[in-house]
Amino acid sequence: MRGKQAPKRDIAGDSKYNDKNITKLINYVMQDGKKTVAERIVYGAFNVIKEKTKQDPRHVFNKAMKKVSPLVEVRGKRVGGANYQVPFQVRGERRFYLGCNWIISSAHARRGHSMAEKMSAEILDASNGEGAAVKKREAVHKMAEANKAFAHFSRSRSSK
């Protein structure tokens, strides 16, 4: 790797809830730099959650993220001419990113309704331990469990 790694930028909390995780979610939803559209989608989803559950949408979102975020994932590693799917633990930032990404992509895949309604439905499903995003997490965990035999490859660090 050339040069040094770019420093992590500290992001400010969002305008409505002053929560960094919600700011990150808005940034992940954002396409083509249209932040106001992304904010409208996320805040709209949170308003629907508030109407349906009569709870603070932040708590529902955090509960959903706990149920969707993966603990382990598999990565391909080439050892002696063969490719192995080696299970690795997932770091905190990547865990949050994957959880958000799976919720967003699952919401996109739903048919009908506005994106805010689809996202709120996916977050509610995830907080109840069901839905496509939770299924994706279970599939990743199952894959890691199936390839547990190759876990010893993750510890052998070869110098490149």
pLDDT in tens, 115-154: 999 999 999 999 999 999 999 999 999 999 998 888 887 7
User: Do the domain assignments include residue 86?
Assistant: yes
**Looking at the 3D structure of the chain, how many domains does it have?**
1
Quick one: tokens of 63? 């509960």
The backbone torsions φ and ψ at residue 126, rounded to the nearest 5 degrees and listed phi first, read: -65, -40
List, in order, residues 6 or more apart from 120 with CB less than 8 Å away. 44, 45, 46, 48, 49, 52
| 26-66 pLDDT per residue, tens | 999 999 999 999 999 999 999 999 999 999 999 999 999 99
Q: Specify if 103 maps to a domain.
A: yes
Q: Is 2 part of any domain?
A: no
Domain range enclosing 87: 20-155
CATH of the domain at 119: 1.10.455.10
Q: If phi over 0 gives left and psi between -120 and 50 gives alpha, with beta otherwise, what is residue 89?
A: beta
12 belongs to a structural domain: no
Structure tokens, 24 = 């990150």
